[in-house]
Structure 1
């Protein structure tokens, strides 16, 4: 998995890939992508704030669900 950061020009409502909560995007979006650059979804600011190790663990669990 890869991360893609995009500038955001307006408020967009998204659902967090990790916590499944709806949130409004700010100036930038953090998008989780596969190795081909296809997006799986956005991560909200509250999940990002929990730290890189926590996010990595959550994404590993997400990855295992994709392979099942």
Structure 2
């Protein structure tokens, strides 16, 4: 998995890939993508604030759901 950061011109609600809570997208978006660039979903500011190690752990759990 990889991260993609994009400018966001739309102020719409997104669902966080990690905590599954709705949040309003801000000026920039953090998107989790596959190695091929296919987007899995956005990460909310609260989850980003928990740090890289915590996000990595959550994404490993997310990844194991799809490989099982």
TM-score normalized by the length of structure 1:
0.98
Structure 2: segments with no counterpart, 5+ residues? none
1:13-24 → structure 2 map (5 Å cutoff): 13-24=13-24
Q: Distance in 1 between matches of 2:12 and 2:5?
A: 15
Structure 2 partner of 1:28 = 28
* Shift, 1:12, TM fit: 1.5
Structure 1 partner of 2:5 = 5
Structure 2 partner of 1:48 = 48
Aligned residues: 68
Structure 1: segments with no counterpart, 5+ residues? none
Structure 1 ranges of 4+ moved more than 3 A = none
Q: Distance in 2 between matches of 1:5 and 1:65?
A: 24
